[in-house]
Each structure stands twice: as structure tokens, then as C-alpha cells.
Amino acid sequence: MPAALSALFALLAAVGNATGTVLQRVGARTVPHGDAFSFRLIRHLLHSPAWLGGIAVIVGAAACQALALNLGSLSLVQPILVTELPFTLLIASAYARRRLPAAGWAASVMVAAGLGLGLAAAAPSGGHSAVPAGMWALALLATGGAMTLCVLGALPRPRGPLRAALFSSASAIGYALTATLMTAATDVFERDGAGAFFTAWQFYGFVATGACALFLLASAMESGPLIASQPALTLGEALVSLALGMLVYGERVRTGWWLLPEGTGAVLVTWGVLILPRVDAKSPSKL
């Protein structure tokens, strides 16, 4: 039952993130070109009702994600958030009052089927809540360094797909680290109560990294097309989260012959994720 509830809250988080993404894309359309990764970007977005509405929805999605992480493992919850991409396309199509092409439905089914197959085969389990300080330092240095390299690679490049993909990759790493810190913070809340939760460094860590990841995602949306940024965000967050779950919390997935259905599921998810932004880019839209 806890695993089922965890999966349910993760799906609700994916729907909330998808809704927030659509609203953010509506708000990002008003940002002048060239304002990515600057304080001007923040000023423009804070004056956008659509973007602020997206933030409000994402806060609710973060609450669902926290509940999911409290009930289940990082290796279970974060891959389910891959469904955010097909949900985004469905919600964007409804907002623009256009029909989703057959390729979009096919890709959405591929993502759902691949995710179900992969998670059923992997059966994430185990893990611990006691993380040594040295392990936290290693995780923070590795993720922070990777994000910095992505940003430094993006800044000198002109507006376009590569710049968007680099900012989106940095955002994906930031969101994965946010989930990792959120897992630790929710463990503190469950074990020691609200007072300890609001004084734990992991609480301030996931708030800071979440805000940073959100800013980088806004920069990615302003820098280039969705077809460049969304696959890097979706797949990158899932992969980095799985790695952090195993590294930081000692979570395990099944190996041996189970790697065959796990690999098949991963291929289906990747294929669907790569198709969906192309469907969105080719379809007439108000976003």
C-alpha cells in the first residue's frame, strides 16, 4: 500500500508539474530575447500572471512529490515523473484547443508502457535514511560541479537548441538534487516533527536548489525550442535521481536477467520522450 500511494502522489506531482510547465511557457512568451540567465528575466516573469500561476501549481506538485518520497523510494518516485512530458503535451493541446496527433498518442503510450515495464522489472527497494556527511559532500560537489559546467557551456552560445539543452540539463540535475534533499527533509519531519524539519539544513537545501533549477528551466525555455530542452530535462532528471538514490541512500534495483525488461522499458521511455517534443513543435499552438 505505501508503494501504491507513493506512485499515486508521484503521478499527481507529474500532472501538477505539467500544468505548471504549460503556464510557465505561456508566461515565457512575453520575455524579450536575450534576457535568459539575467535579473531582467526574473523581473519579466514576476509580472506575468500565467508564470506566477504556474509557480503556485508547482508548489502544490512539490507537496505531492514530498508525500510520494516520504512513502516510497527515490528510485520509484523520480522515474514516474517522466510522465510529466506526455501530460504537458496533453494539457498544452487542450489549452490551445487543438487535437493531439496520432504520433503524440503513440509516444505517450510508449512512455507509459516503458515506465511500467521498467519499474516492474527493477522493483526499487532497500535504502537507508542515515547518510554520512562525507556522502552528502560528495553528492553536492558532483551535482553542483555538473550544473556549473552546463551553465558555463551555455552562456557563451547564441540562442538556439544547444544553449537550451545545456540550461535544461543543468536544471535536470538541480531538480534531481532537490528531490534527494527533499527525501532527507521529509524523513526528518516524520522522525522528529515540524520543528526539526524547518531547522534541518536539507530543508533549506532543497528550497535553494529547487529555486535554482526553476530559474535554469526558465532560461532554457527562453533560450530555445522545447524540442531541445524537454528531453534533456525529463531523461536527465530521472537518470540523475536514480544515480543519487543508489549513491546517497543505497537503494537497489534488480539485476541479472531483469536487466532485459528494464532495458526494454528504458528504450521505450527514451523513444517516446524524444518523439513527444517533435510532435509539439510541429503542431500549431498558442504556446
Cβ neighbours of 56 (radius 10 Å): 12
Classified as helix, coil or strand, 155 is: coil
What single letter denotes the amino acid at residue 230?
Q
CA-based end-to-end distance of the chain: 39
Cβ neighbours of 132 (radius 10 Å): 9
DSSP conformation class of 251: E
Of the candidates 275, 279, 170, the one whose C-alpha atom is nearest the C-alpha of residue 231 is 275
pLDDT of res. 190: 85
What single letter denotes the amino acid at residue 19?
T
Signed CA dihedral, 217, 10, 111, 279: sign only: negative
pLDDT of res. 283: 60
What distance in Å separates the CA atoms of residue 151 and residue 133, rounded to the nearest whole number? 27
What distance in Å separates the CA atoms of residue 219 and residue 208, rounded to the nearest whole number? 17
Q: Under a CB-based contact definition with an 8 Å cutoff, are residues 144 and 213 in contact?
A: no
* Interacting residues of 256 by C-beta distance below 8 A, sequence separation 6+: none
Question: Residues in the chain, how many?
Answer: 287
Q: Under a CB-based contact definition with an 8 Å cutoff, are residues 64 and 80 in contact?
A: no
CB-count burial class (<10 Å; 0-12, 13-18, 19+) for 11? middle
pLDDT of res. 84: 84
With b meaning 16 or more CB within 10 Å and e meaning fewer, what string describes 200-230?
A: bebbebbeebbebbbbbbbbbbbbbbbbbbb
Name the pairing type of β-strands 251-252 and 125-126: antiparallel
pLDDT of res. 207: 92
* Regions of the chain where pLDDT drops below 50: none
Q: Under a CB-based contact definition with an 8 Å cutoff, are residues 223 and 34 in contact?
A: no
pLDDT of res. 287: 54
Quick one: cell of 243?
544515480
CB-count burial class (<10 Å; 0-12, 13-18, 19+) for 31? buried
